[in-house]
Each structure stands twice: as structure tokens, then as C-alpha cells.
Structure 1
Amino acid sequence: MNPRQLFLQHLAQTTDFPLLIEIEKAEGVYMYGPEGKKYLDLIAGIGVSNVGHRHPKVVEATKAQLDQYMHLMVYGEYVQTPQSQLAKALVDTLPEALDNVYLVNSGSEAIEGAIKLAKRYTGRPNIISCVNAYHGSSHGALSVGGNEIFKRAYRPLLPGIGHIVYGGFTDLEKINEDTAAVIIETIQGEAGIMVACSTYFQALRKRCDETGTLLICDEIQCGFGRTGKFWAFEHFGMEPDVVCCAKGMGGGMPIGAFIAKKEVMKSFANNPLLGHITTFGGHPVSCAASLATIQILQEENLIDQVESKANLFKKLLVHPKIKSIRNKGLMMAVEFESFEVLKPIIDRAIELGVITDWFLFCDDSMRIAPPLIITEEQIQDACKIILEAINDPLSN
């Protein structure tokens, strides 16, 4: 059987209509099929490949660590240089109070750990998240998700979960002395790139302070330079108590983290000890890749280029069928009339060699989140193909 047949026969499917794009190689902003067909990747593995596919420095760091050691012991027991160096590099990007890192395997696991931490530290039962939030697909992460379509088949979920409207000031009164934490995507991703104002985030911070509630910022999609700052919360003049990250963190390798002040994180060390455990969290090879990713973002000034590249997309993507473009940096949503209009355009763009998709809770908008290394010439090429797909009779 060929790889496609094996895929369909033996890999668990998540839809009845997978894309079935077969990739043999990826490099930079491009992926290549078995017969050499080239795809320009405008979604970066859903915000993962911020420094591009197989960045040479990430590959070099990964290979070097493979020559030293791989898994040694469950997280937190042995002194492993890649973990320690990465934790220091992460802390150096953050406000002074956020000085303690718990390394995990994925975004969902970072959310699970942050929820546990908030309950353990505060001793409170309730968590508040936002309507149309997406925080992952594991049981706890799904519980704090904000869209019932994805939740109803798995109820009962965690108790004590409430929801507020992202950007809605009046809902802040729902935060009270029983609330362990508010967990919020700094930029709402799967809702279709929704961006609240600085005044809202400052009011949210104030309400959390008034009630002794931890503020958890989910930066899993929007962190690591995606919005034009290393962390998206930097745009809004406030500081969270806990930051969750993953996706763009590993340069293509699986890794995540939740980060808080040491006083808060110490809650996991006693009553019970080993209050949070992960076998593969902080895998040394992934840590080496993540450290290289941070260094690339800083040394190649990729974050400083984000805004101008986003503006070029907005300048070029002009068409009567495009209703609006929402964005924070290179986290973009191109809005069309409906999913029925958008889906054939996405399909045709893929045939023409540009990969985009839509959002879980906003299926009338095209996702654009390319590797941050994308050049102006590559942006021009991508936009030309998208406009060609919009105009193609097969898309209409």
C-alpha cells in the first residue's frame, strides 16, 4: 500500500474529508509534494513554524542535542542543560515577576497545568474563560473552551466553568472571590482574530487584582513574535500572572510551557508533592530547538519586520469579495461572505500552490499566519495566487 492508502487505513481520522496533501520535504516557507509540487505555506502548521520549516539553526541545535542525550527522566528531577538554558531565555523575554517555567509537550498540556496551578494556589473552585475561546482539545482545555459545538459530545466536563464576552466590560463583574483564574487568549484565534482594546485588558487586570484572581494569558497562537511583539500582551499595557505558550515555541518541534512567579509555581511542590507530572515535558531535543528559535527571532530581527509584512498583505489583498481583513501582526483573518464562498477559494489556492485554511469558530474567514521569515516577494506571489483563486471560475 502507498502512503496515502496507509494513512486512510491505519491513522485515526479527525474528519471525513482530510486534505490528503502529501509532503516529502519542507524548507523555509515552502513544502514539496512527492513529484516536486511546491506549496507556499501561509499557515505555518497553524502558527507553529514561525522561523520557517527546518531553519538551519534549529536543525543544527537539534542534531547537536541528539549527539548528547535524549530522554533521561521525568520532568523536574535531573538537571538538564537544555531545559535550564531555555527557561532562562524565556524568563528574559518576560516581566520580572514571571520568573518560573514549567515545560510541557503541547499547548493543551500547558493549559491543563495552568488550570491546576490556579486552583492549587488560590484554593478556589471556579475558572472563567471567554465565549468562542479555544484552548485545546484535552478534557480540561476543552472545558474552558468557549464554543458548545465542540463540547456537547463530551459532557460532563469540568464543573465550575463560567464564560465572559471577550472585550466586554460589563461581564467583568462575573469575576469574584470564588474565581481561581480568568483564562483568556490575548488575541482570540479560532474566533477569527479578535483583538480587544488596551482599556479592556487593563480593566480585566484591575478586576482580577480586586478579587485575588489569577490572570492567565493563552499565548499559544499569538506568542513568539506572531503579532509584532514577542508576547501579544505587550501591546496592551498589562501583565498576566501566568503565560501559556507552545506552537511557535519549538521551531517545528513539540514543546509547550506555562510560566508564573516562583511563589505561585511552588504550589506544585507539596501537598501533594509532584503536584503536576509530565514524562516527556521539556524533552531536551525540543528544548534545544526552542532555544535556537528564540535566538533566531532576536538575532534576525524577525519580530520588527512583522508589521510591515502584514501591511503588505493588507495592501495587496483587495477584492470586491473580500469584506475586511482583521489582524494583529501576521495573525490575520480575511473575511468573505460565507464559508460557501470561501471554501472553493481555499481549495483552488491549494491547487495553485498556496496553502491557507479557515477558523474553527469563524468559517467565513481565511487564515493567514505565514512563517515570519516570509519575504516581500513571497508575499506578493502568495497574494497574486489568492486573487487568482478568487477570480477563477472554478471558485465561483
Structure 2
Amino acid sequence: MTHQLSLAELEEIEARHVLRNYARLPVAVASGADVWLHTTDGRRVLDLLCGLGVTSLGHAHPNVTMAITEQAGKLLHASNLVHLQGPVQLAERLAQSSLGGGVLFQNSGAEANEAAIKLARRHKRGGEVVSLHNGFHGRTYGALSATPQEAKQEPFAPLVGGFRAVPPTVEALETAVSDHTAAVLLETIQGESGVLPIPDDVLRAARAACDAHGALLIVDEVQSGMGRTGDMWSYEASGVVPDAITVAKALANGLPIGALITGPHLLDVLRPGDHGSTFAGNPLAAAAAHAVLDVMGDPGFLPRVREAGARLTAGLESLPDVAGVRGRGLMLAAELTPEAVERHGTTAELAGRLMTEHDVWVNAPTPTSLRLLPPLTIRDEQIDEGVRRIAAGLTAR
């Protein structure tokens, strides 16, 4: 068995051999089970972040573990040049759960959004992609060009041309979308910018504008999909049906996978050679995703997510330092009072102390808020324990 390295040993190796693009917490995780992470120094951390919305069934879920183990003994890879039952049936399940058309597998959310952008341009034979201010769609060049955040874009200019960002308002979309628009790409809830829900009238305006000008409406469900909001897909609550969605994160509960899912009218847009990926749709990730869908397919699963979200929201709102809670289901942000922000320095520092001193993991998407993306399987007593730990951190200074 490999010797477990300490935090200091890991940090020393990283200082010499790992590029500096991640700002890591001073925590080394050795294992996980259910809603808990176990550190190398013997602590047990309540994980209310799910690896940024990935491990939605918790850590080491037995169904997922069994599916991965069985598939690993059969076949890991054969490429997309042959037919593979697991991925093909996964495509069928994803399409039937959403838009009823076709599926193109990728390895991440950013790659799924790249595929969506190419689909839109192929469909319109060019055209501009309109996205919304505060949106986040990934860090590859196309996805980054659709992510109007100066701090993320500026170091990598020049970006890909043909992208326009507008405020999330009805008027802005009606003005921006034209016959030269290939697609509107948006999130129904902007996760990385602080869990900011887009109003339903804005979603309806995006749909109407796309219909009027022959553009595609693409909804980025990378963080908000897969049951996170209490619906299988976040767009369902609005009644607005997109032409395509992108999904990743929670789809395989920790294995890398992403997907572009389209309506039936887009099934034949991409041609052989237009887009591809060596590892996309591999049997191992597909097996894990099947296990996830099996669990989420239980009739009581999504109602329970809504109940858990209501309990967590109420618990957070009861804290004196919380000015309000926004989001839906178990995709939430707690907005702190100005006094709490001033007392704690920054929410990033507060989130760090919650992890290192109070053994609860959340993060700070904005200078005034904390984001919570707990496992969708979290139980009431674990929710209450999470609220207690956050409360302890808020009152510590």
C-alpha cells in the first residue's frame, strides 16, 4: 500500500512540480464517505460543496463504486470508432430525460459548451453567440470567450471572435439577438458568480428572440442540472424549452464526463469529423453515470432534494449574520450582512476558516456570499449539523 503523504510533504512536492493555477486550501484529503471527507491529519470535514457540485450522491456511493468496479474488469476504452452499449444507452436515457434528441459526449462542462458553440455555428453557418453578464461557461477558448468576466479573459487575449455579452434583461436580449445570431448561451442560475437566478421573463425573452431569428437557445446545465435544483434540469421550472443543454459535473459523481444534449431537430447538424474526443463517452464514465441516473430515478429523490433545500435555506436564514439566501433546491448562496463581512475580512477568508477550524466545506463565489452545493443525498441531521458549524464560524470573531 502506498504511504500516505502528509500535508507538508504534498505541499513540498507541489512547490517543485505542480503549476500554480490552483489556490489550494491547507488541507490534504485522504478519503471520503457519504457527506464526509477524511483528512490526512485525522479530521472529518462535512462536505457542503461536493467538489464544486460533482459528488451529488456523496463520496463512495456503493452503487457508483460497484458500477465502476464491474466495468473496470470488462472494458475501459475502445474509442468512438466502434459501437459501445453503455454509452449508447446512456445517450438514450439522457435524451429521454430532457430534450428527446441527440447526445454528444465530452469530458467536462467546458468541452460540452465548446461542442454546443460549434453546433450552433454549424447550424447557422456562422453567426454570433450571445451570452449574459456574470455568466460562466468554462476556461477553454470558446467557452472562455462566452464568459464575460474580465479577470478570467484578460490574461488570455485575444479571444475567439463573434461573441457578445449583454445584461440579463429582456430589453438587452431583444436588442442583441438578430438574424446574425447563432445562439444565446446562458445559465438559468449563474453558479460561479454567486448563485444568481435568471428571471423567467428573461428566459422567455431569450426563447422568443431565438425563435424570431433562427438562433439556438442553449442552456448551460453543468452546475444546475442533474437534480441540483430539485428538478432534473433547471430549465424545467421556467417552462422554457431550449434547443440544447450542456451537462457535466454530477453526471458520473466524480469521473470526468460531459454531454451536449439536443432536441430532435438538431440530430443531424454535426457531421463525421466536425467534432470529437479520444476519451469522451468511455465505458467507465458511462457506467458510473448509469448508476447515478438509477439513484436519481427513484420517485422520491427529487422531492427530497426540494425538502432538503427548504430545510437548509431556513437554517441559514435563521442565522443573524445572514441577510438572505438565494438559489433553488440544493444550489444555494447565503448573502452575509455588511457587518458580518466587515468582521470577517473577506468571505474567502471566512470560508477557509470554516474548513480549517470548523470542519465544514463551503466556498465564497463573491466577496459577500457563501455558496453551498451539498450532496443531494444529505439527511436532515447533517443539514442541521452544517448550519451549526457555519454558525460557529460566523460567531467566532
Superposed pair shares fold, TM > 0.5: yes
2:144 counterpart SS class = helix
Q: What residue in structure 2 maps to residue 326 of structure 1?
A: 326
Superposed counterparts of 1:1-396, under 5 Å: 2-15=9-22, 17-73=23-79, 75=80, 77-95=81-99, 98-269=100-271, 273-299=272-298, 301-317=300-316, 318-336=318-336, 337=338, 338=341, 340-350=345-355, 351-359=357-365, 362-393=366-397
Deviations 1:200-221 (A, max 9, x none): 2122211110010100000000
Offset from partner CA, 1:233-289 (integer Å, 9 cap, x none): 0000111001100001111111000011354242221xxx31001100001100100
Q: For 1:53 and 1:245, locate their aligned partners in 2 and report how far apart those are by CA, in whole Å.
A: 20
User: Following the alignment from structure 1 to structure 2, what is the Cα–Cα distance between the partners of residues 131 and 57?
Assistant: 39
How big is each residue's C-alpha offset from its partner over 1:182-212, in whole Å with a ceiling of 9 and x where there is no partner?
A: 0001211112111123222122211110010
Q: Is the 8 A contact 2:173 2:209 kept in 1?
A: no
Alpha-carbon offset, residue 68 of structure 1 = 1.0
C-alpha displacement at 1:352, in angstroms?
A: 1.3
1:301, distance to aligned residue in structure 2 (A): 2.8
Amino acid at match of 1:389: G
CA contact (8 A) 1:131 1:146 kept: yes
Please list every run of 5 or more consecutive structure 2 residues that lacks an aligned counterpart in the other structure. none
Moved more, 32-41 or 372-381: 32-41
Unaligned runs of 5+ residues in structure 1 are none
CA contact (8 A) 2:130 2:166 kept: yes
Q: SS in structure 2 opposite 1:299?
A: coil
Hey, what's the Cα distance between the residues in 2 that align with 1:44 and 1:167? 31
Deviations 1:306-334 (A, max 9, x none): 22212212222223321211111111111
**SS in structure 1 at match of 2:392:** helix
The structural deviation recorded for 1:69 is: 0.5
Give 4+ residue runs of structure 1 displaced > 4 Å after superposition: none
**Secondary structure at 1:333's aligned position in 2?**
strand
Q: For the Cα contact (< 8 Å) 1:54–1:252, is it kept in 2?
A: no
The one-letter amino acid paired with 1:235 is A
Q: What one-letter code is carried by the residue in structure 1 that aligns with 2:93?
A: A
The farther-off stretch of 337-346 and 23-32 is 337-346
Cα displacement string for residues 58-87 of structure 1 (whole angstroms, at most 9, x for unaligned residues): 0111111111111112x3x21101101111
- Distance across 2 between alignment mates of 1:278 and 1:172: 36
SS in 2 for 1:121: helix
Identity %: 31
Q: CA deviation at 1:341?
A: 4.2
Aligned to 2:196, what secondary structure does the other structure show? coil
Change (3 A) 1:300 1:36: farther
Deviations 1:116-158, CA, capped at 9 Å, x for gaps: 1100111132110010110001111100002111101111101
Distance 1:231 1:258 in 2: 13
SS at structure 2 position matched to 1:151: helix
Once the two structures are overlaid, the 10-residue window that deviates more, 365-374 or 2-11, is 2-11
> Distance in 2 between the 1:80 and 1:391 partners?
54
**Does structure 1 retain, via aligned residues, the 8 Å contact 2:170–2:205?**
no
Contact 1:65 1:284 in 2 (8 A): yes
Which whole-Å CA distance do the structure 2 matches of 1:265 and 1:100 have between them? 5
Larger deviation: 235-244 or 196-205? Answer: 196-205
* Shift in Å, 1:387: 0.4
2: CA distance, partners of 1:280 / 1:348: 38
Does structure 1 retain, via aligned residues, the 8 Å contact 2:101–2:266? no
- Amino acid in the other structure paired with 1:10: H
Structure 1, 121-130 or 6-15: larger mean CA deviation? 6-15
Q: Deviations over 1:21-76 (max 9, x none)?
A: 11111111111012321001001000101111121000111111111111112x3x
192-201 or 362-371, larger mean C-alpha shift = 192-201
CA distance in 2, matches of 1:169, 1:264: 28
Instruction: Please say if residues 346 and 367 of structure 2, whose CA atoms lie closer than 8 Å, have aligned partners that are also in contact.
Output: no
